[in-house]
Amino acid sequence: MVMYKHYTEELGTLTSEQVDWEPYGTLYRIGSAMSDLNPKCLEEARFWRMWCPLICMWLVEYHQPHRVMRQFGLYQECPPQWQDTDHALHR
């Protein structure tokens, strides 16, 4: 318990200048996802970043690829604020 308190206190004092945030690693470490994919997966790549409603049975939600750009090795701005699409899409 003493070590836990020590670590949480240390983490609590960190500033943004002291942290290099790379949630998905660098391309050097994780490789390029595009080169590892089966060519069949790349046939419809034009749809990957399309903003559209996804419909599955009774569930409708927007595909929001702009929120996960770093997972695909792309530059990602700070994601826009999350929007609840429940009421707008489920009328």
Hey, where are the domains in the chain? 2-86
Rounded CA gap, 37 and 48, in Å? 14
Task: For residue 9, give Cα distances in angstroms to 2, 4, 12.
Answer: 11, 9, 5
Q: What percent of the chain has pLDDT over 70?
A: 73
Rounded CA gap, 73 and 34, in Å? 9
pTM: 0.34
Rounded CA gap, 63 and 50, in Å? 7
Rounded CA gap, 23 and 80, in Å? 18
- The tokens for 53 are 């409603």
Residue 28 reports pLDDT greater than 60: no
Provide the terminal-to-terminal Cα distance of the chain, rounded to the nearest Å: 51
- Using alpha carbons only, how large is the chain's radius of gyration in Å? 19
Q: What is the pLDDT of residues 42-66, one digit of tens each?
A: 788 777 777 777 788 777 777 777 7
